[in-house]
């Protein structure tokens, strides 16, 4: 190690390291290393599905029958997932399904949509295309005019694409 004007190896490594860190953190190269989370809106608090169901239905029992829920097993794109709900429950003047609810467990806000129906609809059924944040259960809950609750749920996988998605 020469004395005088020569920089010691240790000093050089520290300087280089600091310089690299400065370049990486300030340039666009740095942004490649940051996790890809959209800045802007702060990520919302994720509501727990059980809290949400309690808010909507309290402690009322939901019977898992009389409701058929059709979903794809794997959603090609989580932004558009076709969901079909069909029930054999009657739609008569004094005995009909008055509301259908759709929930997606893993969305930040699981409540997705609801539809109030009347006997004029003739059938307790609804199909809708919904967004899913990630692999999750999708739930359909039907409420009759007498306050009885029926439901069904299905697991839908949402994949991460490499090139198409």
Partner 1 sequence: MHRKLMKMAICFSLLLFPLLAVKTVDAGSSDTIKEYEPNCTYEEYEKIYLDFYGNSTNEMAEEGNPADLMVDDGKDLYNTVEGTKGKSCASCHGKDGEKLVGVATKYPKYDPAIKGINTIALQINRCREKQMGAKPLKYESYDQLALELYVKSLSNGMPINVSIDGPARKFYEKGKKFYYTRMGQWNFSCALCHVKYACKRVRTNLMSPNRHHADHWPSYRLKWAKAGSIQRRFRGCMKNMRAKPLPYQSEEYRNLELFLTYQSNGLPIQVPGMRM
Partner 2 sequence: MPKGIGKIKIRVPRKIKKGDVIPVKALITHPMETGFRKDKKTKKRIPAYYINDVNVYYGDELISRMEWTIAVSANPFMTFYLKADKAAPLKIVWKDIKGGKYEKTIQINPQ
Q: How far is the CB of 136 from partner 2 (least distance, A)?
A: 11
From partner 2, partner 1, none, which one binds at residue 1 (CB under 5 to 8 Å depending on kind)?
Answer: none
From partner 2, partner 1, none, which one binds at residue 161 (CB under 5 to 8 Å depending on kind)?
Answer: partner 1
Q: How far is the CB of 61 from partner 2 (least distance, A)?
A: 24
Identify which range of 48-56, 87-95, 113-121, 154-162 contacts partner 1 by CB under 8 A. 154-162
The residues near 37 (Cβ < 8 Å, ≥ 6 apart) are: 43
Strand partners, 54: none
How far apart CA 86 and CA 105 sit, in angstroms, is 20
Query: Of the candidates 42, 88, 90, which has an alpha carbon nearest to the alpha carbon of residue 66?
Result: 88
Helix (H) or strand (E) holding 13: helix 9-26
- Judged by CB, which is closer to partner 1: 71, or 87? 71
From partner 1, partner 2, none, which one binds at residue 109 (CB under 5 to 8 Å depending on kind)?
Answer: partner 2
How far apart CA 35 and CA 17 sit, in angstroms, is 22
């Amino acid at each position: 190690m020469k004395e005088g004007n020569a920089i010691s190896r240790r000093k050089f490594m520290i300087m280089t390291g600091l310089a690299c860190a400065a370049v990486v953190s300030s340039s666009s190269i740095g942004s490649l290393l940051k996790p890809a989370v959209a800045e802007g809106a702060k990520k919302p608090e994720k509501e727990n599905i059980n809290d949400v169901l309690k808010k909507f239905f309290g402690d009322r029992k939901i019977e898992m029958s009389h409701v058929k829920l059709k979903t794809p097993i794997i959603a090609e794109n989580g932004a558009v997932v076709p969901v079909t709900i069909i029930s054999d429950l009657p739609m008569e003047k004094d005995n009909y399904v008055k509301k259908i609810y759709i929930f997606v467990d893993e969305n930040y806000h699981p409540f997705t949509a609801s539809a109030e129906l009347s006997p004029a609809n003739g059938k307790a059924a609804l199909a809708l295309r919904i967004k899913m944040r990630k692999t999750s259960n999708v739930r359909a809950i039907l409420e009759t005019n007498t306050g009885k609750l029926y439901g069904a749920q299905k697991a839908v996988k949402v994949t991460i694409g490499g090139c198409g998605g």
